[in-house]
Amino acid sequence: MLLNFPLGRLQEGYQDKLMKSKDKRMKATSEILRNMRILKLQAWEMKFLSKIIELRKTEAGWLKRYVYS
């Protein structure tokens, strides 16, 4: 019973950071999809792909912390 409050606060913090990282990834993804024509014309696909992959890694890290806490 005494452990519920600290663990709840810990999970709340992890969930908050998870949602913030998910929002960043979704914002970047939607921006890329809106500007796909420009990205294709300038051949910037790989640059933005690496950006999305990095955001996914961050999100996955927070998700693991949230799930295993």
- For the segment 19-69, what is each residue's pLDDT rounded down to a tens digit? 999 999 999 999 999 999 999 999 999 999 999 999 999 999 999 999 988
Domain boundaries, the chain: 10-67
Confidence of residue 6 (pLDDT cuts 50, 70, 90): confident
Q: Which of 36, 29, 35, 30 is nearest to 55 (CA)?
A: 29
Tell me: pLDDT of 8 over 90.
Answer: no
Q: Crossing angle of helices 45-67/4-34, nearest 10°?
A: 160
**Is the distance from CB of 65 to CB of 14 less than 8 angstroms?**
yes
Query: Exposed, middle or buried by CB within 10 Å (0-12, 13-18, 19+), for 12?
Result: exposed
